[in-house]
Amino acid sequence: AQKITQTQPGMFVQEKEAVTLDCTYDTSDQSYGLFWYKQPSSGEMIFLIYQGSYDEQNATEGRYSLNFQKARKSANLVISASQLGDSAMYFCAMSPIIQGAQKLVFGQGTRLTINP
Amino acid sequence: DTGVSQDPRHKITKRGQNVTFRCDPISEHNRLYWYRQTLGQGPEFLTYFQNEAQLEKSRLLSDRFSAERPKGSFSTLEIQRTEQGDSAMYLCASTPPAGELFFGEGSRLTVL
């Protein structure tokens, strides 16, 4: 079984600072994907970034980067130069890679608040 | 708007009633997923379709739940004899053969 652990229920950061959201995972699968999603108050889950288990380089997407440490089974999200609009719930998730299907297992989330 | 569309956005019902949610995926996406999210938790996988075929159902999907995607386009999720424990946000997502999930804004169910 797969499991995602997010140990930070809430984070408070000053605008323009960088922030790291922690995520550790547990799986016996050899091939898997790691994802981060943002959920604003509207409820929609917005895809941010993806890292495959065999990708040697950390994924980056604009201000988002994923700090992937396979041996430690961690996949932390780093947001550089935070903005007020970054305030939201953030979920780490993983999925086995089976014929492209994405049966995501999510963590409990971290609520990020950006202060002006 | 060409995103994933869900209807209704909010539903309040009395225990024991049946409810049905509809999801319209992005048109070229062949896979469609249903997730459930209870308050303070991350979403949990319920089921998914590839075109019209329902390929997998989670153990969370009791016999009171049924999902269909009759023509491989929109999907419905029906809950019969609702219970208070069914109160949650029901999220639909779709994806092309290779690519990330695109989620709708969800249908929030409150069972009184």
Instruction: Please write the tens of the pLDDT for every residue from A2-48.
Output: 899 999 999 999 999 999 999 999 999 888 999 999 999 888 899 99
> Tens digits of per-residue pLDDT, A81-100?
999 999 999 999 998 876 66
Cβ contacts below 8 Å, chain A against chain B, sum to: 60
Supply the mean pLDDT for chain A.
Answer: 93
pLDDT at B93 over 90: yes
Cα-Cα-Cα-Cα torsion A41, B23, B54, B66, nearest 10 degrees, comes to: 90
pLDDT at B51 over 80: yes
pLDDT of B1: 54
Residues of B in contact with A50 (CB under 8 A): 100
Average pLDDT for residues B50-64, to the nearest whole number?
Answer: 91
Residue A47: partners with Cβ closer than 8 Å, 6 or more residues away: A35, A36, A37, B100, B101, B102, B103
Of chain A, the end-to-end C-alpha distance in Å amounts to 41
pLDDT at B86 over 70: yes
Look at strands A10-14 and A110-115 and give their pairing.
Answer: parallel
Query: Which letter does DSSP use for residue B63 in this model?
Result: T
Query: Which letter does DSSP use for residue A59 in this model?
Result: P
Helix H or strand E encompassing B24: strand B19-24
pLDDT of B69: 96
pLDDT of B2: 75
pLDDT of A98: 65
Partner residue opposite A109 with nearest CB, options B42, B45, B48: B42
Site from B36, B38, B103, B108 to mutate, A interface, most A CB atoms within 10 angstroms: B103
Which of B:1-60 have CB within 8 Å of A?
31, 33, 35, 40-45, 48, 50, 55-56
pLDDT of A101: 66
Partner residue opposite B105 with nearest CB, options A43, A50, A105: A43
Residues of B in contact with A47 (CB under 8 A): 100-103
Q: What is the DSSP string of A67-111?
A: EEETTTTEEEEEESS--GGG-EEEEEEEEE-BTTB---EE---EE
> Tens digits of per-residue pLDDT, B6-50?
999 999 999 999 999 999 999 989 999 999 999 989 999 999 999
Separation in Å, CA B67 to CA A11, A43, B27, B52, B76: 37, 22, 19, 11, 6
Sign of CA dihedral B56, B61, B64, B65: negative
Average pLDDT for residues A74-86, to the nearest whole number?
Answer: 97
- For residues B63 and A51, give the distance between their C-alpha atoms in angstroms, rounded to a whole number: 35
